[in-house]
Amino acid sequence: MNLDSKIYVAGHRGLVGSAITRNLQENGYTNLVFRTSGQLDLTKRDQVDAFFEEEQPEYVFLAAAKVGGIVANNDFPADFIRDNLMIQTNVIDAAHQNHVKKLLFLGSTCIYPKLAAQPMREDSLLTGELEPTNEAYAIAKIAGIKMCQAYNRQHGTNFISIMPTNLYGPNDNFDLNSSHVLPALIRKFHEAKLNNAPTVEVWGTGTPKREFLYSDDLADAAIYLMNTYNGSDLVNVGMGKDISIKELAEKIGKTVGYSGAIVFNASKPDGAPRKLVDVNRLKDLGWTAKISLDEGLEMAYTWFLENIEKNTMMTN
């Protein structure tokens, strides 16, 4: 990408899209194109076609998606598979029809089998059954990967796919009913601290292990790969190290300054026992993560205090 290349970031206000946008702007890219979901409904093909015909972007970061945590995925599977399939299909095909030079599709490590060998390699895709609680979302993302590969093979497009691990950072979703585990725990511990609550309940047994990547690191990797990688093979993006939910809860409690007890509710679902990605392909391509979990948690909590907590106080 040249600094004046026309770049469309789909989903620019979300966790991933906002991080990509920040990184592009900080690195001097000046010709960025955005639309809010109110201005452009990516599930509507006529709107997507009109946008691409009008703007003619050269590069596309497809970071728009319907996302949620274990509760939202489990409760609304039809919404997750429908919306994500429509968004992906519309944007990927419009990118081809309008001769986009390159598109980067953002998947998720939930595409891998529930019991995939750890760490999960890219070639473990479609080798086993998915985690049932987010199967609908995972199937939509797998379809997006396969669509990019099919368009590359049939039409000679340059559409690449990257699979980020669990992400967190600015513009994350802190709603306890629909968020992922890390932002949910930040909010839980913060509110427990404010209310002097003696305990904080954490879903599950605390034994599952998860990997977490700060969103600015993911953005850096995405832009690096957009500029350097061409190929249909998907690329994992992660830290290459994981942590148990119990250890994560303890770290977040320490970051927030909560001194009460942590109680694990084993009647709630754990999800997959472990989700660690193999990042050797990414390392071979020349990129490694830079922001440690401790540093990232401090930054995420600071952002929460400056944005979510401040807004909550203003509306109460």
What's the pTM value of the predicted model, to 2 decimals?
0.92
The amino acid sitting at 142 is I
Known binding-site residues for NADP(+) equal 11-17, 106-109, 141, 164-167, 180
pLDDT value at residue 168: 96
Residue 51 CA to residue 283 CA, distance in Å, equals: 36
Residue 313 has pLDDT above 80, yes or no: no
Asked if residue 269 has a cis previous peptide bond (ω within 30° of 0), the answer is no
Look over the chain and give the mean of its residue pLDDT values, rounded to a whole number: 94
Question: 67 lies in which domain range?
Answer: 7-315
Q: Assess if residue 111 is contained within a domain.
A: yes
Say how many domains are in the chain: 1
Render pLDDT for 86-123 as a digit per residue (tens, 0 to 9). 999 999 999 999 999 999 999 999 899 988 999 999 99
Q: Assess if residue 225 is contained within a domain.
A: yes
Measure Cα distances from 276 to 34, 118, 143 in Å.
33, 6, 22
Q: What's the burial of 287, exposed, middle or buried (CB within 10 Å: 0-12/13-18/19+)? A: buried
Q: Assess if residue 251 is contained within a domain.
A: yes
Span 179-202, average pLDDT = 94
Q: Assess if residue 1 is contained within a domain.
A: no
CATH at 265? 3.40.50.720
Q: Assess if residue 2 is contained within a domain.
A: no
Q: Assess if residue 175 is contained within a domain.
A: yes
Render pLDDT for 205-260 as a digit per residue (tens, 0 to 9). 999 999 999 999 999 999 999 999 999 999 999 999 999 999 999 999 999 999 99
- Contact present, 276 and 119 (Cβ < 8 Å): yes
Known binding-site residues equal 11-17, 106-109, 141, 164-167, 180, 188, 203, 210, 270
* Active site members: 137
